[in-house]
């Protein structure tokens, strides 16, 4: 008997969920103002019926804390910064559904250079 092929997700969304203790000098992506962003994203994906083909993943620090809250959409290494619920809604609508990354919400190139070549 032939097994059915399970399709890959179309997108992964890695959302930083790092929360630093109070009084840490470095900012973190999750605080009292931003703690609802992941659930907002997940519930929006569910409401639109695309949870599954789009996989939201909670991660720890993604190394761009000063620009948080941040998340990466894969494929493509698209790093979105200074997220709000409204920005997440637009990213889902335009990047995820229409496959058109939202350029104005992406991290500036000066903070997101080319990947390091580890083969050398
Ligand atoms: S705490 Fe989110 S990128 Fe570092």
- pLDDT tens by residue, the chain, 120 residues: 889 999 999 999 999 999 987 788 888 999 989 999 999 999 999 999 999 999 999 999 999 999 999 999 999 999 999 999 999 999 999 999 999 999 999 999 999 999 899 998
The pocket around ligand 1, CB under 6 angstroms, is made up of 16, 18, 28-29, 61-65, 68, 70
Ligand 1: which atom is nearest the Cα of residue 67? 3
Pocket test for ligand 1, best of 65, 79, 111 (most atoms within 8 A of CB): 65
How far apart are the CA of 35 and the centre of ligand 1, in A? Answer: 13
Are 102 and 51 in contact by the 8 Å Cβ rule? The answer is no
Domain ranges, ordered by start, for the chain: 11-111
Distance from chain centroid for Cα 42: 11
Q: Is the pTM for the entire model greater than 0.85? A: yes
Fold of 11-111: Glutaredoxin (3.40.30)
């Amino acid at each position: 008997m032939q097994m059915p092929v399970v399709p890959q997700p179309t997108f992964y969304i890695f959302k930083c969920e790092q929360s630093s203790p109070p009084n840490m000098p470095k900012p973190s992506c999750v605080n009292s103002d931003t703690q609802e962003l992941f659930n907002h994203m997940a519930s929006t994906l569910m409401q639109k019926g695309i949870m599954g083909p789009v996989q939201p993943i909670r991660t720890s620090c993604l190394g761009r804390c000063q620009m948080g809250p941040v998340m990466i959409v894969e494929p493509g290494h698209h790093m979105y910064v200074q997220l709000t619920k409204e920005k997440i809604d637009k990213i889902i609508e335009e990047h995820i559904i229409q496959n058109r990354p939202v350029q104005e919400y992406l991290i500036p190139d000066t903070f997101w250079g080319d990947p390091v070549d580890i083969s050398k």
